[in-house]
Every structure is written in structure tokens, then in C-alpha cells.
Amino acid sequence: MNPARRTAPILNPYLDLHHAIIQSAIEPESVARIRKKLVAAYAWAIPSREALELLADHGPLIELGAGTGYWAHCLKQVGVDIIAWDRNPGAPPHWTEVVAGEPELLADPASPHHARTLFLCWPPLNEPMAAEAVRLYRGETLAEIGEARDGCTGSEAFYDELERNWRLTHELPLPRWPGIEDSLRIWQRAE
């Protein structure tokens, strides 16, 4: 681990807002409304320094479903080489460059992106994107943020694919909103 990376300040207003809201006496219904607005402005999951460091250890990355690019923005601050893709890159706001990208871009076995760790942050619930991306990806490492099977991320096909072809090597809980149980999980391709 790069010692300079551990001490470099990170501009992470989402984490700061999360801490302030969780420590306040705001009613749970109001927290849920605030969370909905913050998710649209930042991301579904809240980056912590520990999560950013763990992802940095597995760089370079290719993020599919990057949304606003907030995680990519935070990762770039700790020196990570990351490409952020989303099927709708024109939707504002953006924290960093997000380009058009779908799982099909991983279909070419000779793609240079297979040398990068595939990063999925809160894969859409009950949509095929994550399962398709993992099936098409030829690389060895997958970083995934979300809830476990039967949570509010991913699909049955996605979790089936993980159980069949991947081995969980690390799990790190993230700063969480009430009622959310998301974690950063690192998977290695099973032999």
C-alpha cells in the first residue's frame, strides 16, 4: 500500500454529509427523503477511505454503471487509473468524465479492459446488466458494492454467476444509511 495515498486528503462531501445527518436528530422519514436526493447527486453507496484504499489496491479499474462518476472522482484522488462507463452518460450531474458503455463492450476477448478490475457499484435491482457484465468479462478480479442476495441490488442471475464462477476474498462494510446493508466485496475468478 502506498503510504502517501493513505495520508492524502480526499474531497468526499457525501461522506461528510452522511456523518452529519446520521449524528443529527432528524426523523427517519426525513432521512429517507434526504438520502433519495443525495443518491441522485452523489451515488448509491458512500465511499470511505478504507473502501477507496481497498479498490486502489486492485487498480486499474473499469466501472460499469458509474452514474454520476462520484466513486471514480474519489478514486482518482487516491491515484487510481479508472475508466467510468454508464449507459446514460449524459444524465447530470457528473463529478468526473463518464463515457457511454454497456456490458457488450466487454464481449471482445482481446479487449484491453479485461486487464482492469471490473467495478460494479450497486448493480441495478432485477436487471440483467451485472450478470451480463460478469459473464462477458474475462479478467480475474471483480469489485462489487451492494447488498447480498435478496437485498436491493443485483439480480438472481448475477448472484448465481458469482456463486458458480467467483470466490469472495474480501468484504468491507461501508458507511450506511438506516436499513441499508451494503458492502464492498472483492471477488477472484474461481479456477
To the question of pTM greater than 0.85 for the whole model, the response is yes
Residue identified by cell 471477488 is 187
**Looking at the 3D structure of the chain, how many domains does it have?**
1
Residue identified by cell 475508466 is 83
CA neighbor of 106 nearest in space, from 119, 94, 97: 119
Kindly report the CATH number assigned to the domain that includes residue 72: 3.40.50.150
pLDDT of residue 111: 86
DSSP string, 141-189: EEEEEEPPTTSSSS-HHHHHHHHHHEEEEEEEE----TT---EEEEEEE
pLDDT of residue 2: 55
Strands 117-121 and 183-189: unpaired
State the Cα–Cα distance between residues 47 and 141, nearest whole angstrom.
20
Q: Is the peptide bond before 60 cis (omega within 30 degrees of 0)?
A: yes
pLDDT of residue 4: 53
State the Cα–Cα distance between residues 71 and 78, nearest whole angstrom.
11
Domain span holding position 32: 3-189
List the chain pLDDT tens, one digit each, 191 residues. 555 556 678 999 999 999 999 999 889 899 999 999 999 999 999 999 999 999 999 999 999 999 999 999 999 999 999 999 999 888 778 999 999 999 988 988 888 888 999 999 999 999 999 999 999 999 999 999 999 999 999 999 999 999 999 999 999 999 999 999 999 999 999 97
pLDDT of residue 5: 55
